[in-house]
Amino acid sequence: MPNDLTAYKLAAPSMRAGDVIAFAGRAVISYLIDFVSNSDISHVAVVQSPLTATSDVLIAESTIESGISGPQTRPLGATLANYGPGAQAWLLRLSDQVRAEIDWSKFNWFIKTSEDGRIKYDTPGLFGFLGRQIPIVGSYICQSETAKRLFCSGYATEIFEQSGVLRGINWSQVSPQDLVEMKLFTGSPVQLIGKPRNIARFNTL
C-alpha cells in the first residue's frame, strides 16, 4: 500500500529549489546507515524545482532506481508514495541567508551535468563509509572524493559546494545525518510521511 501523502500535499506548494528532503527508510541498507552514523536519516535529496500546474515537485538525488545508477531527477510525490512501509521523510527548508549565497545558475548547471550518465551511485563508497565506522579497523579504510561516483549525501553536499554555499568539505565523508545537522536551515522539519518524530541534532552545527 502506498504511503499517505496528505501531509506532503499540504507542504508541496511551499517547497522551494534548494530545500532538502531527508528520508528514514526501513530497508536493510537503511538500517546499516542508521547504525553506523548514529541516526535515523538514511537518505537525502535536494529540491530541484518547485510544484507547478503541470509538474510535481522534482528532486535531485543520487540513487539506484529503475535501472539508473547515480544522480537523477525524480518526482517527489511518487518517491514518497513508494518509499516503503514504515518509512519517514521530512522537508528541511533552507534559511534566507543560505539562499542569498547560492549561485542558482551553478546550482542548476551542476545538477544538469551530473545527470549525463557518467556519474554512478557510489556503492563502493557507501560500504567504505560504513566500514570506516568500525572501531580500529575503520581507520585503515581510505575513502576519498571521486567525481565519478556519488553517494546520496555526498551529491547533495557537492550541489551546495558547487553553488557557493559550502567550502572545503570532503563530501564523500558526509553522511545523511551530517548534512541535516549543518546550519543551513530555518524553522523545524516538516514531516511529509510516516509516524511523527523529531530529527536528532537537526541544524545544530
6-193 placed in CATH 3.90.1720.10:
yes
pLDDT at 134: 46
Nearest to 42 by CA among 59, 67, 21, 73: 21
Set of cell numbers at residue 123: 556503492
CB proximity list for 82: less than 8 A, separation 6 or greater: 2, 3
Q: Which residue has the higher pLDDT, 147 or 170?
A: 170
Sequence-ordered alpha helix ranges (H) in the chain:
6-11, 28-37, 76-81, 96-101, 104-114, 123-132, 152-162, 176-181
DSSP 2: P
Is 62 strand, coil or helix? strand
pTM of the model: 0.87
Set of cell numbers at residue 74: 525524480
The answer to whether 48 and 58 are in contact (CB under 8 A) is: yes
pLDDT in tens, 156-181: 999 999 999 999 888 777 888 899 99
